Structure 1
Amino acid sequence: MPNIHTVFVYGTLRQGQPNRCVMEPHLVRELGEGQIRGAMYDLGPFPAVTLEEDGVVAGEWVMVKDKGLARLDRLESYPSFYDRAIVSDTANGLRGWVYCMARRKVDGYERVESGDWVAYQANRLVARR
């Protein structure tokens, strides 16, 4: 029987985002929206979160099988690009993995003050029109 992993997703893995399909074949359950403590940065086509700063990051909690976590590890180039850490939700007490970066890796990138990648992307599209 495969292990089940709880993961907090905050960027291109959220519902309606382009990389959601990577984990969907191994998705066990969607646990709903949530928030973690951290700061989000715009790396261009995708965000990164650092846990070394105060702020709130919006996202979703999911449960995936071992193969789902392995696919996420490949997508996120873990451990060479992103790290993985255990975090707790600030509102509902859920706990699980999140892909994050050391603060030094996001130096020079714009901080997403809202901490919500989906809203930030939508605002960028509106601003370009």
Structure 2
Amino acid sequence: MTTPDALDPLPFFVYGTLRPGERNHDLFLRGRTDRAEPGRFSGAALYDGPGYPYAVEEPGGTVSGELVTASPRSYAGLLTELDRLEEYTPGNPHNLYERVPRPIERPNGTTIRAWVYLAAPAIAVRLRAGGRRIAGGDWLERG
């Protein structure tokens, strides 16, 4: 049986340290992608973490980032490496993030499904209760 990842290699929506100019972009994405374009994730807010952000689903919010399409030859390895970076293992209750497919808006107004790493449920609860929300939803403009 094949996994949904193998059947449907989605692009990635990156909103923090994987964005161009940030510390993890070159380490993980340089030379492994076919396309990158701005994107917006509606229905989410961005919270400051310890050196990296968390996206949390919240009505009325928007998170800005990049929609990154991995090259076919790099997809499987990149998916594995990004899961490791984001401390995500399917079904693990101790995950920092959960990787989920969500609609991302492109600059031309169309939407595309992409993988988004959202704050894991327990972390999302703590952030909503007392985390520092990044006004405007853009990690690069966090000031």
Structure 2 partner of 1:20: 25
- Distance in 2 (CA, whole Å) between partners of 1:94 and 1:39 is 19
Structure 1 unpaired stretches of 5+? 125-129
* Equivalent residue in structure 2 for 1:99, among 112, 117, 142: 117
1:25: how far off?
Answer: 5.3
Match of 1:39 in 2: 45
Secondary structure at the counterpart of residue 84 of structure 2: helix
Q: Does 1:29 align with 2:17?
A: no
SS across alignment from 2:79: helix
Aligned residues between the structures: 120
Q: Which of 82, 90, 98 lines up with 2:97 in the alignment?
A: 82
- How high is the TM-score relative to the length of structure 1? 0.82
Q: How does 1:44-123 map to 2 (within 5 A)?
A: 44-64=50-70, 65-79=75-89, 80-90=95-105, 91-101=109-119, 102=121, 103-106=124-127, 107-120=129-142
Matches of 2:87 and 2:31 in 1, distance apart?
A: 18
TM-score (norm 2): 0.75
